[in-house]
Amino acid sequence: MTAIITCDLYQTLAIIWASIGIIIFFILLFIPAPYGRHTSKNWGPLIDNRLGWFIMEFLALIVLYGWLMLINFQLSTLSWIMIGLFTFHYLNRTFIFPLRLRTIGKKMPLLISLMGLIFNLANGTLIGMHFAWFADYPENWVYDYRFIIGIVLFVIGVAVNWYSDTRLIHLRKPGETGYVIPQGWLFKYISCPNLFGEVIEWLGYAILTWSLAGTVFFIWTFANLVPRAISHHRWYHEHFEDYPKNRKAIFPFIW
């Protein structure tokens, strides 16, 4: 099926969206996104944080597969592998991760959920358009060093993210909402290995797809998560006098 959007227009939209992400990065360095430990009533009505996560995340898959339906899902096996990795991440974020949270009663601003929805609408659209019309990988791409490096980073990132989330979730007993200092494993070196893992995951995805869409997604991931890790790191130091001084925020020994 002929593309309903030209390659030049697609590239322009992607560059504009990436530029917005870079601007958001600098804003978030000074204004922490008000959810989780940074939740604030000053940002409007609050909703259950599990519902908030669902609202933020579910649209990515709907948008992605909506674009794919325009070409009747006639894609190469390699493209489906890449789409499968994206789907795997968002099935976890939409359904599994919220149910794992031990934060019954905690709230987040509805505005944050809606902003997350816009984030996933834009990124899901770019990813969907890429695979619907612009993805053109040779059959031997699975042997290309970019695919191999990317898939390794993606798997490592997912593993680090999931295991770190598990350790953080089990710091609380069911029903508890307070915070304690996480210890051990990568927490010896950084405050937010869960966010570090997700950054690595999407860096891997950008490399293995070798695409503008994947690169823009990584830029937005970096722009959202690095400032959030810095905010968490600062929060820990403000609330715990004995917080380890040698830990970095998100990148071991660096930042």
Q: Is residue 21 part of a domain?
A: yes
C-alpha 252 chain-centroid distance:
19
Q: Is residue 253 part of a domain?
A: no
Q: Is residue 63 part of a domain?
A: yes
Q: Is residue 83 part of a domain?
A: yes
Q: Is residue 111 part of a domain?
A: yes
* 156 φ/ψ angles, rounded to the nearest 5 degrees: -60, -45
Question: Token pair 């403000």 is at which residue?
Answer: 238
Q: Is residue 252 part of a domain?
A: no
Q: How far is 140 from 131, CA to CA, in rounded Å?
A: 18
DSSP state of 187: G
Pairing relation of β-strands 107-109 and 46-48?
A: antiparallel
Q: Give pLDDT, residue 103.
A: 64
Residue of 89, 220, 231 whose CA lies nearest to 161: 89
Of residues 57 and 187, more confidently modeled: 187
Residue of 218, 209, 56 whose CA lies nearest to 134: 209
Q: Give pLDDT, residue 105.
A: 66
The answer to whether 201 and 157 are in contact (CB under 8 A) is yes
- CA separation (Å) from 237 to 21, 59, 79? 27, 35, 44
Q: How far is 253 from 203, CA to CA, in rounded Å?
A: 19
The parent domain of residue 82 ranges over: 7-239
Residue of 22, 24, 33, 21 whose CA lies nearest to 232: 33
pLDDT band at 186 (very low <50, low <70, confident <90, very high): very high
Residue 1 pLDDT exceeds 60: no
High-pLDDT (> 70) share of the chain, %: 93
Question: Token pair 């933020």 is at which residue?
Answer: 56
Q: Is residue 244 part of a domain?
A: no
Q: Is residue 170 part of a domain?
A: yes
- CA separation (Å) from 37 to 61, 72, 103, 178? 27, 43, 11, 9
What total number of domains does the chain contain? 1
Token pair of 29 as six digits: 């360095």
pLDDT tens digits, residue range 97-119? 877 776 666 788 888 888 888 99
